Structure 1
Amino acid sequence: MENYLNENFGEVKPKNSSEEALQRWRKLCSIVKNRKRRFRFTANLSKRFEARAIKRSNQEKFRIAVLVSQAALQFIHGITYTVPEEVKAAGFQICADELGSIVEGHNVKKLKVHGGVEGIAEKLSTSITSGISTSEDLLNQRKEIYGINKFTESQVRGFWVFVWEALQDTTLMILAVCAFVSLIVGITTEGWPKGAHDGLGIVASIFLVVFVTATSDYKQSLQFKDLDREKKKITMQVIRNGYRQKISMYDLLPGDIVHLAVGDQVPADGLFVSGFSMLIDESSLSGESEPVNVNAENPFLLSGTKVRDGSCKMLVTT
């Protein structure tokens, strides 16, 4: 009935009586003959009350669901992060594990929780403009808490390892069997020492080949080790005590402000501070050939990647 009135008498404004007034009016008309038929085209107040109750119930459920999800997100993204005592005692407000989870996980929400790049810099006791202090005590303290920017190098394999590898050659194994058979047959037929000459000659040849091969491989491994060490001697432009200076990438510490330009290798994990047109080649990590645009919205820089275009200042985190 309400739809019919709206379609045919839309210009007539309803009185908009309250539901309580309509209910009182119907109670007063309870003596009307065939009351059910009389009010069949009027609004069904019981259904209205039921619909309103369902609506209120759904709104309350939705509100509770939103509150629960917000609480879960706060827990997941580490809003309840507590600083370890040793970190706090050293004058810092964030630990290495938390920094790693932010940068390696590209966790923007957790970064915002800590106050963004400026907040991270403050918790690392550094300045975006002047960098960290060069005081020896403070640098050592920073090294103790966060470590150094260097992986533990694998030990150089010893000479006898290469000797053992040379002995695994199939040809030499066959020659060794032949030498053994020659010794047995020669000594049996001609006696000692005349019958052992051929077998001992083969054995001497085997040892000569093994030691020459092992010596060559060992020297080559040492040369590759030195070459790799020289290749990794990369110097970076950093700001310390407000002055720009060059230091080895192995001397970088969390809190350092590093300048990056086209062709540079990102020396450590860090956060974009300022710059322009930064394109990072992450193919060495992800295998993707498409460069990644790094800016204030996506400030994460990973160690080992290369700057394809642009320049920036980076805050070292791990």
Structure 2
Amino acid sequence: MSANGRDSATTPLLSDSAHASGPFGIDSNELARLIDPKNPELLKRLGGVSRICTLLRVDPTTGLSPDEQSFEIGVDAAKDKPFADRRRVFGENVLPAAKSKSYIELVWEAYNDKTLIMLTIAAIVSLAVGIWEDYSPNHPQDEPRIGWVEGTAILVAVAAVVFTNATNDYQKEIQFKKLNAKKDDRTVKVLRGGKENQISVFDLNVGDILLLEPGDIIAVDALYLEGCV
């Protein structure tokens, strides 16, 4: 039992002033603990969904204000983009880009072929023998010194194959990233200023009221407010 006689499990753990360093009463780490893994008991202890809305400075009946400016005192609102505080504290609704291979890595992968490696060894041997014969004391003075040509030609051919394959793979990676970005960028319906708005999924902010219809893909981790299930 708590000091005021109420069960501590139903007493909100956070107050509006719990995070004096930020404009919100809850931070991203605390929100993450609610979702991953799902923790309804923690949600109850934090005061429920309505309390979370209060801490996030959002009215669940009207949503975020489309003209929301900085909550910080002394910040020039004219120089700040809408929802700047939310994005600074909670980040943007964008997954980190998968690390792509560099061109050098693709070159190395293209070269790691048994046939190309064997051709390289043969070319080096041929080049060494050709140079030795060209500059050998027994080399006829009236004959051109072209023993190095065969080995060099093989090396040039190997390099051409490697760089062509690496360039093709690099261009494929760029196209793949562009296609993924287009696939992930879709519109969602939110409530802002009491009105329904369609925005890019990348423009969603923590605190947005997302309106869902049958068949919609939920593009965020979220708390359920109301509706039919």
Please list every run of 5 or more consecutive structure 2 residues that lacks an aligned counterpart in the other structure.
Answer: 2-6, 71-82, 136-143
Candidates 3, 8, 19, aligned match of 1:84? 19
Distance 1:225 1:78, change over 3 A: farther
Aligned to 2:92: 148
Aligned to 1:212: 164
Structure with bigger gyration radius:
1
Deviation at 1:74, TM superposition (A): 5.1
Secondary structure at the counterpart of residue 137 of structure 1 = coil
Q: Deviations over 1:190-223 (max 9, x none)?
A: 5473111211111111011011111111111111
Distance 1:170 1:74, change over 3 A: farther
C-alpha separation between the residues in 2 aligned to 1:172 and 1:182? 15
Please list every run of 5 or more consecutive structure 1 residues that lacks an aligned counterpart in the other structure.
Answer: 1-66, 68-72, 278-318
Deviation at 1:182, TM superposition (A): 0.8
Deviation at 1:81, TM superposition (A): 4.5
C-alpha separation between the residues in 2 aligned to 1:246 and 1:81? 33
C-alpha separation between the residues in 2 aligned to 1:146 and 1:184? 63
Matched, 1:265 2:217: yes
Structure with more helix by fraction: 1
Aligned to 1:222: 174
Q: After superposition, where does 1:174-185 map in structure 2 within 5 Å?
A: 174-185=118-129
Structure with more strand by fraction: 1
Aligned to 2:48: 116
C-alpha separation between the residues in 2 aligned to 1:247 and 1:221? 28
Aligned to 1:107: 39
Instruction: Out of 183-192 and 118-127, give the one that drifted further.
Output: 183-192
Instruction: Out of 163-172 and 213-222, give the one that drifted further.
Output: 163-172
TM-score by length of 1: 0.58
Aligned length: 202
Query: RCO (CA 8 Å, sep 6+): is it higher in 1 or 2?
Result: 2
Distance 1:79 1:136, change over 3 A: closer
Contact kept? 2:14, 2:46, Cα under 8 Å? no
RMSD (Å) for aligned C-alpha atoms? 2.4
Candidates 80, 104, 109, aligned match of 1:165? 109
Contact kept? 1:78, 1:110, Cα under 8 Å? no
One-letter identity of the residue aligned with 2:217: Q
Candidates 189, 197, 211, aligned match of 1:245? 197
Aligned to 1:57: none
- Between the aligned residues of both structures, percent identity stands at 33
Matched, 1:198 2:150: yes
